Amino acid sequence: MKPVQVLVVDDHLELAKSIADGLEARGFDALPLGSFAAARTALERGEHDALVTDLRLGADDGLELVSLSRQRAPESPVLVMTAFSAVATAVESIRRGAYHYVTKPFEVDELALFLSRALDEVAVRRERTSLRATLELGSTAEHLVGASPAMREVGDLVRRLAQVDVPVLVLGETGTGKGVVAQALHAEGPRAGRPFVQVNCAALPENLLESELFGHVRGAFTGAASSHVGLFEQADGGTLFLDEVGEMPPALQAKLLHVLETGRIRPLGAERERQVDARLVAATHRDLRARVQAGLFREDLRYRLDVVSIELPALRHRQGDVALLATRVLAELKTRHPTSKVERLSADALQVLLAHDWPGNVRELRHALERAVLLAPGALIRPEDLPKLESPRGPVAPFSGEVEPLRALNRRYVAWALERLGGRKLATAEALGIDIKTLNRHLGDE
């Protein structure tokens, strides 16, 4: 965790330095400032965790610094120092958002105590918000639904890796549930009470993605009217999930590599780096090795991200999980849409689901069931209540019917072998005597 940075402001700089030295000795990172102008400049950067300021700064009013701090960094507590004769002004500072005041002369221990209490309250509020979000996500390994060997293996990996603080790369086709795995890694581990922050790297243009990840200070670029805390800092102590990391622009890949190597970030326009402690989970549906060979992804970053990987099987490779998934998803959707009359799937509707190839994976299944929950007129979901499913599953048992091209036969045989082995690609490739890339080519996954 980065040390707490406290700005200490007094128009007598030597006094500010003395207080800052006392706070430093008690574990704070304190910066003494001797003027209103210097304090305003520091506050506008928005880099402080707390502010301690005198209310009388020569001809300037310390109350303005209280208001500015609350504007630039609303969660950062403010403590004011005042003479006994100006207690009424100190009370006004509390009305404007200050946490507490101390009257001069005071002991640094007293100030440190109030600072610690204020920062603890901020931490409790953040944890409460994070815990509420985690509970709403309900994202534990139990939500990785599947009885197939491949999904049991995924669940076991998640439980083990959740306790190990290393980057994890989650692989799988779009819609297989990579985000659920990332949430489960967070919720099952020691960081569960801290923030879980996510961003889709493919959804934002490069300049906006850089600002979102690393933050910026006021005036860093045209339109930056105030400072912005980046996602790495928002995830401090918790987990940052980078979805579709394979789409990240090369310039940002270099900055991400720097964070992984040093644990430090530099917001746009900032004068110095900041320490962050966020566990990184990344996901992609791309073949990163192929992206490296094409010059689109840094090889050193791939090694850094892929310390351990979890590969999610496509739904078409674990047909036995479709009924179980449908039951779980239907229960969740009924809770989300309590006015729906739907109670369960009819046997015919379930057969339609089992026959479908699910190119959109679990996400497509969820969308199909949600449509039925919203539109079905009665308690049973019937085939006509489901959307039109365009790609029915063909037979996977080999060597039946007419003679067909060798390529098609290879694909059917490999698909049959993959299903027999529970959707586990590595085990299937080893059993067939081929590598993963060749297996994917036979399956049409590349």
Given pLDDT bands bounded at 50, 70 and 90, which one contains residue 435? confident
Q: To 10 degrees, the CA torsion angle through 111, 113, 118, 123?
A: 140
138-311: same fold as 5-126?
yes
pLDDT for the residue numbered 258: 95
Given pLDDT bands bounded at 50, 70 and 90, which one contains residue 68? confident
Given pLDDT bands bounded at 50, 70 and 90, which one contains residue 2? low
Q: What is the pLDDT of residues 105-131, one digit of tens each?
A: 889 998 998 998 888 887 766 655 544
Q: Provide the residue type at 443 as one letter.
A: L
What are the structural domain ranges in the chain?
Answer: 5-126, 138-311, 315-385, 406-443
Q: What is the pLDDT of residues 285-307, one digit of tens each?
A: 999 999 999 999 999 999 999 98
**Candidate CATH numbers 1.10.443.10, 1.10.8.60, 3.40.50.620, 3.90.1150.10; the one for domain 315-385:** 1.10.8.60
Q: Tell me which H or E stretch contains 204.
A: none
| Mean pLDDT value across the chain | 84
Hey, CA dihedral for 169, 170, 173, 179, is it positive or negative? negative
pLDDT at position 49 over 80: yes
* pLDDT more than 90, % of the chain: 38
pLDDT at position 443 over 90: no
Contact (Cβ atoms closer than 8 angstroms) between residue 137 and residue 152: no
Q: How many residues does the chain have?
A: 446
**Strands 29-33, 5-9: pairing kind:** parallel
**Strands 279-284, 168-171: pairing kind:** parallel
Given pLDDT bands bounded at 50, 70 and 90, which one contains residue 144? low
Whole-model pTM?
A: 0.61
DSSP letter assigned to residue 394: P
Lowest mean pLDDT among 91-95, 162-166, 240-244: 91-95
Given pLDDT bands bounded at 50, 70 and 90, which one contains residue 143? low
Class of the CATH-defined domain 138-311: alpha beta
pLDDT at position 419 over 50: yes
Is the preceding peptide bond at 205 cis, omega within 30 degrees of 0? no
Given pLDDT bands bounded at 50, 70 and 90, which one contains residue 145? low
Quick one: 5-126 is in which CATH superfamily?
Answer: Response regulator (3.40.50.2300)
Q: What is the pLDDT of residues 218-258, one digit of tens each?
A: 888 777 777 788 899 999 999 999 999 999 999 999 999 99
